[in-house]
Structure 1
């Protein structure tokens, strides 16, 4: 098993320790990290092909906000808070749809696809109304290789492309831009802190212990490395037929992908993008996963699957085998992280030593400590600590 760290944060005096347990249960810390970590981070919403025509929209909800991403008459993709400027009514409901205009269902205020307020019943009844200044409140949008991201606050952090820059060359052949959704957005709530989901995703040491299927598929080829903003995990499918039916079918029937280099034909790639998103990349499809914080001890997993258009029966069967394999992996991971979460709440646990090979966990912990210095404390400080310190700029 290989492990490599590249472009890690500058030396962290606490590098040999994991993040302490109280960070996974404490309400005050949760509120601080939502402001300093999640609110200014990019969050994936959809693929550009999900909103191909003017008026097509998709939504995402997190941190108590609803954001709508919509394509305008000019073809541009914009994002807005899904909130009417009159009485705060939500303008659209559901995960997606199409609207020629955004009309508030409460008092029929009308907004154009570019967010401008264009219609107000009884307009003269509002002496303070400035139509030009009362458009929908915009949300920052970023687009990377066909995917659409938003963020609620700008702390000067990098774009998605800048974050993925170390891996652009190896991602490019997969033609993300040409992919289309092959499964609807799926959400699942888990009784875990959001960090536990990400920690487990990048944890290399548990693979040979907890995932028999992945071990059968990869042998000893599983490798990890940490970049500044992206963790990379990978494994090559071995030639030895698996004893598991779904795994063996996948090994034997995975078709050649002409758009990929030969070295990638039997390669599984995993990229975790700071702080709470991941792309699972296979020759036959890609899966996207996002873990959105709900409370200090609950998270919402949001998942999507995409692939290049291909209706061949053998491809559909291989994708089904892929799904069966990863359904087992997901169940194993759920069992693990729920029990880790329970352990984090124990008064007996402070912080654990972290191995030199656990480069992804080290990278993530260093970035959290860099944004919230109190994360260095092995025990929770007295309540109210966040009010006594200014936020890290």
Structure 2
């Protein structure tokens, strides 16, 4: 990803114009310049623990599959047969056919090894142009960062490790590599633009106003900062008991996390990774969220929680209460982003001014304007 950020952004004090949140042409530009060249999380290595285990990921019309190899490594391929383009593996996860040792196309039984090599073609002698060593599965860039498996459809640019480097030392105590899935992947459709959701989850100013539960739990003083590729928000769990039963119980039962340093035992931290995914980190678990664009005005929120194995009753209760509290927060956010999406459609709205403290929104806008200069315009260009 070629992203040369200018030293001075003339629009730094302004948010993005409303037309970017519904325009079909701009959405196509985003796919090519922002989203396809970006890293996207697929799963954790502990989602695919055995050779032949797989996880699929659908993004921008492409189906990608991550497969655990016989050597223990994770590889990513286009989930497309090289013969007639049939989808190879179905469902969000599972194990490859033939005892997990190979991938067999359900259309004509072309067969691939877990390393993507084409190893079997029925009636191979009848294909004049067949070259077995050249028609293996199309590979997709893959990177494993602290146990999480990321893919990138195309392009280049910094690795996930390089993007996360400013905060890697903060993640180390949580032992991401040892975490296992807690629940299952859920998909929540929303009739809003993906940037609207991304903006909302990078906005600290609305929390004391629109999320009374979070304010009771973490107070009104959220920390917010932005590095080149990652935004961070954080807050400390307050000790004064909440008047809400679930929140008060979470405060009371959250057990000690012996692997965490004292300053993190009751700390919430949120890391938003450019452009559309985030880790929501609590002492008891980590929630992963991804804002997958479907159309200019439709987004799929993909999420799953991960946690270290812990059979303590207090930890089980804390994790249940965490889910219950976040369900209310999600409902509040759903209403907020719907309000904004509706307002973005008004011709009266161009772009709103940003506070100096809205560092995450400033950082996002700066990168988007650098990649797509038309994002500086108050109205769509002619023909858009």
TM bucket normalised to smaller: over 0.9
State how far apart, in whole Å, the 2-side matches of 1:333 and 1:375 are. 25
- Hey, what does 1:5 align to over in structure 2? none
| 1:105 alignment partner, SS class | coil
Q: Does 1:67 align with 2:64?
A: yes
State how far apart, in whole Å, the 2-side matches of 1:142 and 1:383 are. 39
Instruction: Name which of 22, 27, 39 aligns with 1:25.
Output: 22
State how far apart, in whole Å, the 2-side matches of 1:70 and 1:16 are. 45
Q: Does 1:44 align with 2:41?
A: yes
| 1:12 alignment partner, SS class | coil
Q: Does 1:210 align with 2:210?
A: yes
Runs of at least 5 residues in structure 1 that lack an aligned partner in the other structure: 1-7, 385-393
The 5 A counterparts of 1:42-191 are: 42-99=39-96, 100-154=101-155, 156-191=156-191
Structure 1 residue 9: deviation in Å? Answer: 6.4
- Hey, what does 2:361 align to over in structure 1? 361
State how far apart, in whole Å, the 1-side matches of 2:185 and 2:197 are. 18
The 5 A counterparts of 1:270-281 are: 270-281=270-281
The 5 A counterparts of 1:183-262 are: 183-262=183-262
TM (norm. structure 1) is 0.94
Residue-by-residue CA offset, 1:315-349 (whole Å, 9 max, x unaligned): 11111111111111110001000110111111111
State how far apart, in whole Å, the 2-side matches of 1:87 and 1:10 are. 49
Matched-pair contact (CA < 8 Å) for 1:9–1:367? no
User: RMSD between aligned alpha carbons?
Assistant: 1.0
| 1:303 alignment partner, SS class | strand
Structure 1 residue 52: deviation in Å? Answer: 1.2
| 2:75 alignment partner, SS class | strand
Residue-by-residue CA offset, 1:164-184 (whole Å, 9 max, x unaligned): 111111111000001100111
| 1:290 alignment partner, SS class | strand
- Hey, what does 1:10 align to over in structure 2? 7
Residue-by-residue CA offset, 1:89-138 (whole Å, 9 max, x unaligned): 00000001112211010011101110011111111111011111000000
State how far apart, in whole Å, the 1-side matches of 2:245 and 2:140 are. 47
Q: Does 1:332 align with 2:332?
A: yes
Residue-by-residue CA offset, 1:17-69 (whole Å, 9 max, x unaligned): 10001100000000001110000000000001111111010000010000000
Structure 1 residue 314: deviation in Å? Answer: 1.2
Structure 1 residue 219: deviation in Å? Answer: 1.4
Consecutive aligned runs of 4 or more in structure 1 exceeding 6 Å deviation: none
Structure 1 residue 71: deviation in Å? Answer: 1.1
| 1:299 alignment partner, SS class | strand
State how far apart, in whole Å, the 2-side matches of 1:294 and 1:143 are. 26
State how far apart, in whole Å, the 2-side matches of 1:87 and 1:113 are. 20
Structure 1 residue 221: deviation in Å? Answer: 2.9
Runs of at least 5 residues in structure 2 that lack an aligned partner in the other structure: none
Aligned length: 376
